[in-house]
Amino acid sequence: MVMPMLINEAACMQCLGTTAFLEEVESLIAQHDAQVVVLDIELRGGSSLKRLPALQARFPQTRFIIHSGHSNAELIRNSGADAYVLKSGDVDELIRTIETLAARGVGRG
């Protein structure tokens, strides 16, 4: 997996886990006390966007980024995520977004 290696190369970050399965996301966040989670819109087992409100309620200190190839403006606005980064963009944009959200500290807003 290329993305975890790129995240780990960033000076202040470490990718603590990856999964392609929606049902594993919640346990990974809890296990690693994740500050920032990067989700694709669709994972095996369902829609991350549909599960996002429940994840945000259970983990209010965690920031969520949707990283997707979908560039639909309405989908982006209505995602409910803390940030939305297109896969077609520069990987540095994703790294900067992770850093920005992590620097904001605890809680939404």
pLDDT tens readout for residues 3-43: 666 666 665 777 788 889 999 999 999 999 999 999 988 89
CB atoms closer than 10 angstroms to residue 33: 10
Q: What total of structural domains would you count in the chain?
A: 1
Q: Residue 16 falls within a domain, yes or no?
A: yes
- In the DSSP assignment, the letter for residue 88 is T
pTM score, two decimals? 0.83
Question: Domain range spanning residue 57?
Answer: 2-103
Q: How far is CA 41 from CA 32, 45, 84, 103, 105, in A?
A: 21, 11, 10, 24, 24
Q: Residue 109 falls within a domain, yes or no?
A: no
Give me the DSSP letters along 48-69.
HHHHHHHHHHH-TT-EEEEEES
How high is the pLDDT of residue 3? 65
Q: Residue 48 falls within a domain, yes or no?
A: yes
Q: Residue 56 falls within a domain, yes or no?
A: yes
Here the CATH number for the domain that contains residue 84 is: 3.40.50.2300
Q: Residue 108 falls within a domain, yes or no?
A: no
Q: Residue 61 falls within a domain, yes or no?
A: yes
